[in-house]
Amino acid sequence: MAIKIKHLEHYAIAVNDLARSLNFYHDILGLGILPRPNFDFEGAWLDCGNGMSLHLIAQVDTAPIFSGSRHLHFAFAVDDLMATKEILIGAGIVIAKDIKPRPDGVLQMFIQDPDGYFLELTELYI
């Protein structure tokens, strides 16, 4: 059984200077700033249109970050996160970060693709 992806929800990038990146993406390119949950790290969410967003994650040093949510990742919305988890486990996919709520209560789960890129799966409804 395959998972039914609803849509690409966001892409996240690490930035060295959040203010400089906000100037570029918001002030110059005109992307609107979206509300962002109160994570324990600095960042910003920008509206790319059509329900998609760009998440800027402030990188505090040059060391790679491998926490799952802070590493470079892209996110897909699914209808049922628990059913998705069972399909992934049945396919032998390791859950990098189990299902947990973000600070705003939206459920999320992280896995890695065969090349090590993180994918977030979420039940976010927009």
Domain enclosing residue 51, as ranges = 5-122
Q: What is the pLDDT of residue 45?
A: 95
Other C-beta atoms lying within 10 Å of the C-beta of residue 35:
6
**Local confidence band at 22 (pLDDT 50, 70, 90 cut-offs):** very high
What integer is the mean pLDDT of 13-30?
Answer: 87
Q: What is the pLDDT of residue 30?
A: 85
This prediction's pTM: 0.66
Q: What is the pLDDT of residue 97?
A: 73
Kindly tell me if the per-residue pLDDT of 115 is higher than 80. Answer: no
The one-letter amino acid at 89: I
Q: 70 CB contacts (<8 Å, ≥6 apart)?
A: 14, 41, 57
- At 61-94, the pLDDT tens digits run 655 544 555 567 788 888 899 999 999 999 898 8
Helix (H) or strand (E) holding 22: helix 18-22
Token pair 């203010």 in the structure block, residue: 19
Question: Domain total for the chain?
Answer: 1
Residue spans of alpha helices (H) in 45-98 = 81-90
Higher pLDDT, 115 or 63: 115
Q: What is the pLDDT of residue 3?
A: 86
Residue 87, φ and ψ in degrees, nearest 5: -65, -45
Secondary structure of residue 97 in the 3-state scheme: strand
- For 23, the token pair is 């100037």
Question: At 65, which CATH number?
Answer: 3.10.180.10
* Cα torsion through 53, 74, 7, 113, rounded to 10: 180
Q: What is the pLDDT of residue 61?
A: 63
Secondary structure of residue 44 in the 3-state scheme: strand
